[in-house]
A and B are shown apart, each in its own frame.
Chain A
Amino acid sequence: MKKAVLKKYRKKKNYKLLFYILPFMVFVLLFSYVPLFGWSIAFFQYTPGASLSAKNFVGLKYFRQFFLDTVDMSRVLKNTLTFAVLNLITMPLPLIFALMLNEVPHKKFSKFVQSITTFPNFISWVIVYSLAFSLFSTEGVINSILMGMGLISKPTNVLSSASAAYWFQTSLGIWKGLGWGSIVYLAAISGISQELYEAAAVDGAGRFRQMIHVTLPGIAETFIVLLLLSIGNFISVGFDQYFIFQNPVTLKKLEVLDLYVYRLGLINKSYSYSTAIGMIKSAISLVMIFGTNQLAKKIRGNTII
């Protein structure tokens, strides 16, 4: 009898549930879907307060401008791609870090290292900037130590050095994300069957060869998934970091796509052009994300998103 009641309960559509879920979906509608209508301003010469009418309709003007504006775009794309490539090159670092942690015989030490190195992931870029400023500015501790040792004669400020901008920002990203990035690999390592290590040991493999032949293959799949995800997100290198660290000297190196969209829209007040570029960026991202997802399906027989 019970089963019959349950079956009936499951089959019958329960309209009360809609009553529960719809209030929440109103938020989704208001804050995620309504803004999409704002895309329409990309086809008009929009000024705040004015209404969209046939008079200021410009069609694809702003989309064409994106492809014609070679001076700005080549600079912005060069910055974006440079950071994207640097991020890709440094992707194995958390994996190597996880391997190193895994080799530590004292669990307490590796837990300690992990705790300290993961913490920077949870502070904002504002805080990172404040820390960097305290350390690297002309009055910062690094300069005073180097001056004290007589290694340099006058303070140099790496924060406002355009030539150091690329590697400095990438290093900050590594500093902030290394520990956090290694957790997923450590989780994968802990999932590797102990029997595999024992079998390798019986075959005469030392710790090093166990690492190469057992641990590494065990986390390779995780690495490939993350690699595919980051390829999918290739042009989304982030906004916060560059927004906060930019200054008049470094802007020409730190101006990535998202920062450019921001500056065009809210600093230059080119609302329509900024929206158009944002749309082009979203379109490219979507294609890349779902493209890599299909690729993942082919390679692994399983999608990643």
Chain B
Amino acid sequence: MLRKTSPARMAFLVVNTIVLGLITLLCFYPFWYILVYSLSDATKAQAGVTFWFKGFSLNNFVKVMELKGIGSAVFVSVARTLLGTLLTVFACTFMGYLFTKEEMPARKFIYRALIITMYVGGGLIPTYLTISAYKLVNTFWVYVVPSVVSAYNVILVKTFVEQLPASLEESAVLDGAGAFTVYRWIILPLSKPIVATIATFTAVGHWNSYMDNYLYVSKSSLNTLQYLLYKFLNSTQELTKMLQQGDTSAIHQMEAVTREILTPMGVRMTITVITILPIFLVYPFMQKYFSKGIMIGAVKG
């Protein structure tokens, strides 16, 4: 039933639109700011950038990519994201499928043993000691191996597979197909939405993680981009602090930084932009799977 818009309703709509617009701006502006800052001419930008470029230049990006350690950090981050996502998606989808099979001996027991890990963990120090005992410290594998199996993802897949029509699987079984064949040729192609959901969320998690780097890896050739950015944020902070205290050695350091890579602020923002970029690129794809990723309330073990 269509009603004529009353003045009160009109006023509400206007206010509503303005408030939503402001919230959107609040979310958008920080990203826009670092983008225009990093794409501005570094020396001009120091005088202040607010909404628009000050002398457009790609110099920041060119110089930052030349910085020692950045190239390898990008490589490590990409490698851990690809490999980690691949392993997790394979493990969680195959496990999720296997747990739907009632003929598995001790199925309930094994499933519960997995679910419990969502609620009980060893905690920081015991986990640290365990990882050290496995000699994973200072290896690339510490980024991908401990997180291969995620109980939550297994639940998502299991719930999804359970609502697929059983007849498809049954006809394959009658033709003598084994569990892996059924998984590979029937379950996996039918589970595309849930595979995509798990893959994108796992990939973003891998790309964003820095703590494993911070705790377990001190070899600089294995640094990830996130950790490098974290380190850089803290070291410039220290530099600025020293500068304010009038420490001359710090000024020399600052000059070295300035000569080589223009401004610390510019470098920091440029690395930030580079780190956000991949997330930004997969974001439209992820949006398709939001609703499936937040089945938290609906899904139970």
User: Are the CB atoms of A124 and B124 closer together than 8 Å?
Assistant: no
Q: How far is the CA of A100 from the CA of B12 in the complex (A)?
A: 10
Chain A residues with Cβ under 8 A from B178's Cβ? 16
In this assembly, does A6 line the interface, its C-beta being within 8 Å of a C-beta of chain B?
Answer: yes
- Could you say which of A10, A134, A278 contacts B33, with CB atoms under 8 Å apart? A134
User: Are the CB atoms of B103 and A2 closer together than 8 Å?
Assistant: no
Closest-by-CB residue of A relative to B287 is A115
Interface stretch, picked from A35-43, A69-77, A162-170, is: A35-43
Interface stretch, picked from B14-22, B62-70, B191-199, is: B14-22
Contact A24 B94, CB 8 Å, known A38-B125, A134-B265: yes
In this assembly, does A68 line the interface, its C-beta being within 8 Å of a C-beta of chain B?
Answer: no
User: Are the CB atoms of B126 and A41 closer together than 8 Å?
Assistant: yes
- On chain A, the number of residues with a Cβ less than 8 Å from chain B's Cβ atoms is 99
Within 8 A of B (CB), among A1-57: 2, 5-6, 9-18, 20-21, 24-25, 27-28, 30-39, 41, 48
Chain A residues with Cβ under 8 A from B215's Cβ? 266
Chain A residues with Cβ under 8 A from B130's Cβ? 30-31, 34-35, 38
In this assembly, does B290 line the interface, its C-beta being within 8 Å of a C-beta of chain A?
Answer: yes
Chain B residues with Cβ under 8 A from A141's Cβ? 33, 48-50
- Could you say which of B119, B122, B145 contacts A35, with CB atoms under 8 Å apart? B122
Chain B residues with Cβ under 8 A from A39's Cβ? 122-123, 126
User: Are the CB atoms of B226 and A109 closer together than 8 Å?
Assistant: no
User: Are the CB atoms of A36 and B122 closer together than 8 Å?
Assistant: yes
User: Are the CB atoms of A126 and B226 closer together than 8 Å?
Assistant: yes
Interface readout for B83-119 with A: 1 if CB under 8 Å, 0 if not? 0000000010011001101111110001001100101
Main SS of chain A's interface residues?
helix
In this assembly, does A271 line the interface, its C-beta being within 8 Å of a C-beta of chain B?
Answer: yes
Q: How far is the CA of A11 from the CA of B12 in the complex (A)?
A: 63
Interface stretch, picked from B52-60, B157-165, B248-256, B268-276, is: B268-276
Q: How far is the CA of A24 from the CA of B157 in the complex (A)?
A: 15
In this assembly, does A66 line the interface, its C-beta being within 8 Å of a C-beta of chain B?
Answer: no
Could you tell me the distance in whole angstroms from the C-beta of A290 to the nearest C-beta in chain B?
Answer: 8
Could you tell me the distance in whole angstroms from the C-beta of B26 to the nearest C-beta in chain A?
Answer: 7
Among A13, A35, A175, A240, chain B packs the most CB atoms within 10 A around the CB of: A35
Chain B residues with Cβ under 8 A from A238's Cβ? none
In this assembly, does A58 line the interface, its C-beta being within 8 Å of a C-beta of chain B?
Answer: no
User: Are the CB atoms of A18 and B104 closer together than 8 Å?
Assistant: yes
Chain A residues with Cβ under 8 A from B33's Cβ? 131, 134-135, 141
Q: How far is the CA of A126 from the CA of B279 in the complex (A)?
A: 14
In this assembly, does B262 line the interface, its C-beta being within 8 Å of a C-beta of chain A?
Answer: no
Chain B residues with Cβ under 8 A from A88's Cβ? none
In this assembly, does A89 line the interface, its C-beta being within 8 Å of a C-beta of chain B?
Answer: no
User: Are the CB atoms of A303 and B300 closer together than 8 Å?
Assistant: yes
- Could you say which of A10, A207, A240 contacts B103, with CB atoms under 8 Å apart? A10
Chain B residues with Cβ under 8 A from A229's Cβ? 296-297
Q: How far is the CA of A139 from the CA of B272 in the complex (A)?
A: 17
Contact A97 B126, CB 8 Å, known A118-B290, A122-B286, A135-B33: no
- Could you say which of A24, A122, A124 contacts B210, with CB atoms under 8 Å apart? A124
Could you tell me the distance in whole angstroms from the C-beta of B262 to the nearest C-beta in chain A?
Answer: 14
Chain B residues with Cβ under 8 A from A10's Cβ? 102-103
User: Are the CB atoms of B125 and A265 closer together than 8 Å?
Assistant: yes
Contact A25 B233, CB 8 Å, known A39-B126, A131-B272, A274-B125: no
Contact A201 B1, CB 8 Å, known A116-B24, A124-B210, A183-B290: yes
Q: How far is the CA of A32 from the CA of B130 in the complex (A)?
A: 10
In this assembly, does B148 line the interface, its C-beta being within 8 Å of a C-beta of chain A?
Answer: yes
User: Are the CB atoms of B50 and A18 closer together than 8 Å?
Assistant: no
Q: How far is the CA of A43 from the CA of B298 in the complex (A)?
A: 40
Among B123, B129, B145, B229, chain A packs the most CB atoms within 10 A around the CB of: B123
Chain B residues with Cβ under 8 A from A31's Cβ? 127, 130, 145-147, 149
Closest-by-CB residue of B relative to A39 is B126
Q: How far is the CA of A18 from the CA of B110 in the complex (A)?
A: 10
Could you tell me the distance in whole angstroms from the C-beta of A297 to the nearest C-beta in chain B?
Answer: 12
Contact A279 B123, CB 8 Å, known A28-B149, A115-B287, A116-B24: yes
Chain B residues with Cβ under 8 A from A14's Cβ? 101, 103-105, 179
User: Are the CB atoms of B294 and A187 closer together than 8 Å?
Assistant: yes
* Further contacts, 14 of them, CB under 8 A, given A28-B117, A119-B27: A13-B105, A17-B179, A18-B104, A27-B145, A27-B149, A35-B126, A38-B123, A100-B16, A103-B13, A117-B23, A118-B290, A130-B233, A206-B9, A244-B230
Residues of chain A touching chain B, judged by Cβ–Cβ distance below 8 Å, are: 2, 5-6, 9-18, 20-21, 24-25, 27-28, 30-39, 41, 48, 97, 100-101, 103-105, 109-110, 112-113, 115-120, 122-124, 126-127, 129-135, 139, 141, 144-145, 148, 175, 178-179, 183-184, 187, 198, 201-202, 206-208, 222, 225-226, 229, 240, 244, 247, 261-262, 265-266, 271, 274-275, 278-279, 282, 285-286, 289, 303-305
Can you give 20 contacting A-B residue pairs, CB < 8 Å?
A10-B102, A16-B178, A17-B98, A18-B106, A21-B104, A38-B130, A39-B122, A39-B123, A112-B24, A116-B24, A116-B27, A134-B30, A144-B48, A178-B23, A206-B3, A206-B9, A226-B297, A261-B123, A275-B125, A275-B126
